[in-house]
């Protein structure tokens, strides 16, 4: 008797509002050169940046598209807690599989013209005051969002290993989508000093 | 070395007063306000010392002392001198200034996390004593000489400072860690107090305590390089010092008898 009551209790539904699901798509992706010589990285208006303080900012604007069918509105009760899911959730339609950065100029002995130098960049998490490896960046871009205010994001990828020599540089940012489609952007030419 | 002579002087002063008439009231409580004068200092001015809730020169108040006399001359006393310092309120700002001096040329500095307790009582520090009292009375004067053991007790904080290297993408986190938050340092003290009998039940009190403790404070300063997979270098900061302090205070003493414990 007690066991069956307990079983009922842990499988009963919470009185949660029915969540609505939407898809979003990454609408505008723009890249900017950033200068991180100061306390915080800023978009550079200059034609030169100190090579040890260079980075690329990737601006992403998302757009809400089709609403999806609501999933089953039931959350089980565990002990006395009842956690409802967020009422609105935005799921990525076109997920990004990987992000790569190429140097279109000679970078160093092991990275000649056109080489993949993604490993030299790290994702800067300003609020956490930490770095993430660039491999985690797609995961961040494909995350479920809960508010339209999260639709715009600026992501700073900082160059942790500077080029061997100073000079003019252009970097190519390549996004590979889940359907293997490529989206590529070149940064503005910048003199790294 | 001359502080040792001060110890001897206080003991000799009290010894010369032995052998006189005493009161028949077995208990007394004392309330006292005073100042701590450092004869030797615990603090050297190192930045990490701002994480210690301790000041060499400070005011104190006695959260009443309690004395019980076994007989007319000898007793036992419990004594707590609690100190507050207005400087402690400014501790974070002072620490930031020192950090800025240390790292400011090469880095932008911002405070990450302070682990200070926000409770006022933990921003002060205390000297807790237990010891023997010898009493001597002459007309309206009562002279007490005391010898104590106890602890000098204070809190300390841990700190995280965020460092952004200038002209670079490199980030560091400097943490200064005291390990144990509470510090209790074994302390010995000798004391002499002069009481003037205003009435049979209220004495005016002038009190001198010379205390000694050997500080042994360790701090770890870790510098974590976030750009190099959290590569960490650690520096141990250790401080051992002989600390002598003179406390001078004034207040009142109230002798009494507990009916059931006569």
Q: What DSSP designation does A150 have?
A: G
Q: What integer pLDDT is reported at residue A71 of this predicted model?
A: 58
Say if the Cβ atoms of B227 and A54 lie within 8 Å.
Answer: no
Q: What does the block give as tokens for B63?
A: 């959260």
The list of chain B residues with pLDDT below 50 reads 1, 6-7, 9-22, 118-121
Q: Which residues of B touch A130 (CB under 8 A)?
A: 171, 226
Distance from CA of B174 to the nearest CA of A (A): 12
A157 touches chain B (CB under 8 A): no
Chain B, nearest residue to A53 by Cα = B168
Give ∠ CA A172-A174-A179 in degrees, rounded to 5.
160
More confident residue, B225 or A1: B225
Q: Of B169, B170, B173, which to mutate for an interface test with A (greatest number of A Cβ within 10 Å)?
A: B169
- Calpha distance A151→A26 (Å, rounded): 9
Q: What integer pLDDT is reported at residue A79 of this predicted model?
A: 46
Q: What integer pLDDT is reported at residue A128 of this predicted model?
A: 86
CB of B136 within 8 A of CB of B142? yes
- Which residues, listed in sequence order, are joined to residue A175 by a DSSP beta bridge? A99, A183
A42 touches chain B (CB under 8 A): no
CB of A122 within 8 A of CB of A99? no
A26-40, A77-91, A97-111, A145-159: lowest mean pLDDT where? A77-91
Say if the Cβ atoms of A131 and B112 lie within 8 Å.
Answer: no
Q: Would the pTM of this model clear 0.95, i.e. be above it?
A: no
DSSP reduced 3-state for A111: strand
Say if the Cβ atoms of B112 and A129 lie within 8 Å.
Answer: yes
First and final CA of chain B: distance in angstroms?
44
Q: Which residues of A touch B162 (CB under 8 A)?
A: 129
Say if the Cβ atoms of A53 and B164 lie within 8 Å.
Answer: no
Distance from CA of A141 to the nearest CA of B (A): 22
Say if the Cβ atoms of A37 and B168 lie within 8 Å.
Answer: yes
Number of cross-chain residue pairs from A and B with Cβ atoms under 8 Å apart? 39
Residue among B110, B168, B226 minimizing CB distance to A53: B168
DSSP notation for B208-231: EEEEEEEEEEEEEEEEEEGGGTTE
CB of B10 within 8 A of CB of B191? yes
Show which of residues 43-62 on chain A sit within 8 Å of chain B, judged by CB atoms: 50, 52-55
Residue among B162, B167, B169 minimizing CB distance to A158: B169
Q: What integer pLDDT is reported at residue B183 of this predicted model?
A: 76
The mean pLDDT of A168-175, rounded to a whole number, is 92
- Calpha distance A120→B77 (Å, rounded): 68
Distance from CA of B235 to the nearest CA of A (A): 22
Q: What integer pLDDT is reported at residue B232 of this predicted model?
A: 82
Say if the Cβ atoms of B169 and A159 lie within 8 Å.
Answer: yes
Say if the Cβ atoms of B169 and A160 lie within 8 Å.
Answer: yes
More confident residue, B94 or A33: A33
Say if the Cβ atoms of B167 and A158 lie within 8 Å.
Answer: no
Q: What is the CA radius of gyration of chain A?
A: 22
A114-123, A183-192, B170-179: lowest mean pLDDT where? B170-179
Q: What integer pLDDT is reported at residue B90 of this predicted model?
A: 65
ipTM beyond 0.85? no
Chain B, nearest residue to A161 by Cα = B169
SS3 string of B70-81? CCCCEEEEEEEE
Q: Of A35, A49, A53, which to mutate for an interface test with B (greatest number of B Cβ within 10 Å)?
A: A53
Q: What does the block give as tokens for B195?
A: 């009481």
> pLDDT tens for residues B73-123?
899 999 999 987 555 556 667 777 777 888 889 999 887 766 555 444 456
Q: What integer pLDDT is reported at residue B132 of this predicted model?
A: 96
10 Å CB burial of residue A154 (0-12, 13-18, 19+) is middle
Q: What integer pLDDT is reported at residue B10 of this predicted model?
A: 44
Distance from CA of B172 to the nearest CA of A (A): 9
Residue among A39, A53, A130 minimizing CB distance to B169: A53
**Predicted confidence (pLDDT) at residue A143 exceeds the cutoff of 50:** yes
């Amino acid at each position: 008797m007690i066991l069956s009551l307990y079983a009922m209790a842990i499988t009963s539904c919470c009185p949660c509002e029915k969540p609505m699901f939407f898809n979003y798509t990454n609408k505008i992706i723009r890249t900017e050169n950033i200068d991180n010589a100061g306390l915080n990285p800023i978009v550079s208006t200059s034609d030169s940046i100190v090579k040890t303080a260079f980075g690329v900012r990737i601006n992403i604007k998302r757009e809400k598209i089709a609403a999806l069918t609501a999933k089953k509105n039931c959350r089980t009760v565990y002990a006395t807690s009842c956690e409802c899911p967020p009422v609105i959730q935005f799921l990525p339609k076109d997920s990004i599989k990987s992000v790569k950065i190429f140097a279109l100029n000679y970078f160093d002995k092991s990275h000649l013209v056109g080489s993949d130098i993604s490993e030299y960049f790290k994702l800067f998490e300003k609020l956490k005051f930490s770095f993430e490896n660039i491999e985690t960046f797609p995961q961040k871009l494909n995350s479920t969002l809960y508010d339209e205010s999260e639709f715009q994001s600026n992501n700073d990828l900082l160059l942790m290993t500077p080029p061997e020599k100073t000079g003019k540089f252009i970097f190519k940012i390549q996004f590979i989508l889940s359907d293997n489609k490529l989206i590529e952007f070149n940064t503005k030419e910048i003199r790294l000093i | 070395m001359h502080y040792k002579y001060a110890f001897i002087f206080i003991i000799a002063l009290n010894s010369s007063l032995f052998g006189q008439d005493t009161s028949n009231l077995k208990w007394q409580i004392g309330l006292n306000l005073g100042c701590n004068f450092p004869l030797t200092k615990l603090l050297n001015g190192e930045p990490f010392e701002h994480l210690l809730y301790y000041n060499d020169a400070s005011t104190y108040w006695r959260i009443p002392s309690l004395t019980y006399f076994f007989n007319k001359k000898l007793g036992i006393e419990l004594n707590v001198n609690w100190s507050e310092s207005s400087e402690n309120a400014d501790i974070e700002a002072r620490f930031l200034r020192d950090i800025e001096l240390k790292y400011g040329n090469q880095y932008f500095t911002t405070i990450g996390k302070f682990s200070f307790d926000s409770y006022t009582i933990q921003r002060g520090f205390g000297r807790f004593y237990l010891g023997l009292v010898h009493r001597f009375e002459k007309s309206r004067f009562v002279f007490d000489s005391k010898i104590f053991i106890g602890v000098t007790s204070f809190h300390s904080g841990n700190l995280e400072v965020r460092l952004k290297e200038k002209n670079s993408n490199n980030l560091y986190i400097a943490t200064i860690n005291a390990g144990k938050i509470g510090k209790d340092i074994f302390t010995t003290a000798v004391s002499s107090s002069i009481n003037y009998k205003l009435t049979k039940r209220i004495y005016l009190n002038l009190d001198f305590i010379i205390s000694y403790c050997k500080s042994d404070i360790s701090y770890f300063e870790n510098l974590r390089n976030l750009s190099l997979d959290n590569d960490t270098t650690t520096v141990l900061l250790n401080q051992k010092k002989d600390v002598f302090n003179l406390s001078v205070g004034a207040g009142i003493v109230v002798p009494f008898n507990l009916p059931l414990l006569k």
